Amino acid sequence: MPQSGLPAFAPDLARALDALGGVRVDIPVIQPAEPFLDMAGEDLRRRIFLTESETGESLCLRPEFTIPVCSAHIAEHVATPRRYSYLGQVFRQRRDGANEFFQAGVEDLGEPDEARADARALSEARALIAEFVLAENLSIILGDQSVFEAVVAGLGLPAGWQKRLIHAFGNEQALTAMIARLANPDASAMPDASVAGFLANGDVGGLEAHIEEVMSQTGYSTNASRSPAEIAARLIGKQALDATRLSPKSLDALKAFLALNVPLDHAASTLADFARDAGLDISAAQSAFEARLNALSERGENLAAIRWRAAFGRPLDYYTGLVFEISAGSDNLVLAGGGRYDRLMTLLGARDPIPAVGFSLWLDRIETVRAGQ
């Protein structure tokens, strides 16, 4: 693996990573593209460098480490808990730097005490950066996708809308647009005239027959695409979602939640006040949230120096709970990011659910901040 361009502090960082324990892994640069395209999210998908093998398999240059580290763990049938660390190049298009850059990080797989594992991930990421960047210059922001999911579920939205909102979490522009549609359903999102009558009359059989006729006329094979029944079901479901309207009370509650932005030492009480005022039962998510705060306090982290923003997420689809970023410098460069991704392991083929949390450091950005200190 090419190692030119490593910053001068990299050997010290490597030693600090090793001191955290676990297994240092060396992941091949060429990776199957499918897991990244399916699970990483739109923001990363459009920046991957793709190629193809002689057999037609879609491949890519390694754009990040989490997915291949998890895939390797599954392939090797390793018992958990298991901790991995890495330091190497990743390759993806960036607007603010070279397309080849170094990342280091840790992935914790199978740790049953999720609150302690979350706290350790954030604490270790901060401590690693603080060895090379002045601690007083660091800014930490934390979010929680599981709390957002609990709020959305509590509002009683259809499952399809819950999925849409959860998918948009962390993308402020997309989330704002969806909330606007829930406030005022898009009247322009009318079905094609050829199927509108079937949908309006609830004529499922007629709709399926129409779709089958169109597929036959246009040469689409039902063996190579969705069946007429599947297409009809999707059209009916989409129509129902497009017509969904969120009540003013629920809309105000969702907006109020997304506006929450407080120091982490006030987060538990702020979240409890919100749930009470909104009349939502999100007690399970609150308990997990508070357990993490306690675990962070036990590790000596200064909660008042960390910011909780309810709308904060990271642009990777596999996150399920804690998400965080650590920034510094006059340009507020993100030096580290991480979070919990409990669903990823089963999506990658693990036979049983495996809780997982991790973080990555951007070495070139750390070097930039160091140079400006």
What whole-number distance in Å separates Cα of residue 191 and Cα of residue 299? 55
- The residue type found at 21 is G
Amino acid 141: pLDDT: 97
Closest to 77 measured CA to CA, from 111, 106, 109, 51 = 109
CATH class of 10-138+318-372: alpha beta
Length of the chain counted residue by residue: 373
Nearest residue to 120 (alpha-carbon basis) of 340, 354, 365, 344: 340
pLDDT of residue 158: 75
Cβ–Cβ < 8 Å for 160, 285 = no
Q: What is the pLDDT of residue 187?
A: 46
Which pLDDT value is given to residue 220?
A: 60
pLDDT score of 2: 41
Q: Look up residue 236 and give its two tokens.
A: 């009916």
- Main-chain phi, psi angles of 184, to 5 degrees: -140, 90
For helices 145-154 and 159-168, angle between their N-to-C axes, nearest 10 degrees: 150
Q: Are 41 and 317 in contact (CB under 8 A)?
A: yes
Q: Give the per-residue pLDDT at 354.
A: 96
Say how far apart CA 53 and CA 31 lie, in whole Å. 11
10 Å Cβ neighbour count for 190? 11
| Residue-level pLDDT at 296 | 98
Distance CA 334, CA 261 (A): 19
Q: Are strands 322-328 and 139-144 parallel, antiparallel or unpaired?
A: antiparallel
Distance CA 212, CA 234 (A): 14
The 10 Å CB-count burial string (b at 16+, else e) for 323-342 is bbbbbbbeeebbbbbbbbbb
Q: What is the pLDDT along the chain (373 residues), one digit of tens a residue?
A: 345 689 999 999 999 999 999 999 999 999 999 999 888 877 788 889 999 999 989 999 999 999 999 999 999 999 999 999 999 999 999 877 789 999 999 999 999 999 999 999 999 999 999 999 988 889 999 999 999 999 999 988 777 778 888 888 888 888 888 888 777 755 445 555 555 565 555 666 776 676 666 666 665 654 445 676 666 566 555 555 555 667 888 889 999 999 999 999 999 999 999 999 999 999 999 999 999 999 999 999 999 999 999 999 998 888 999 999 999 977 889 999 999 999 999 999 999 999 999 999 999 999 999 988 7
Residue-range domain boundaries for the chain = 10-138+318-372, 193-242
Q: Residue 157 is encoded by which pair of tokens?
A: 């939205």
**What single letter denotes the amino acid at residue 131?**
E
Question: Residue 108 half-sphere exposure, CB side, CA atoms within 13 Å?
Answer: 22
- Tell me if residue 285 falls in helix, strand or coil: helix
DSSP symbols for 107-131: EEES-S-HHHHHHHHHHHHHHHHHT
State the Cα–Cα distance between residues 215 and 285, nearest whole angstrom: 46
Residue pair 90/336 in contact (Cβ under 8 Å)? The answer is no
Tell me the CB-side half-sphere exposure of residue 284, using CA atoms within 13 A. Answer: 8
Side chain identity at residue 188, one-letter code: S
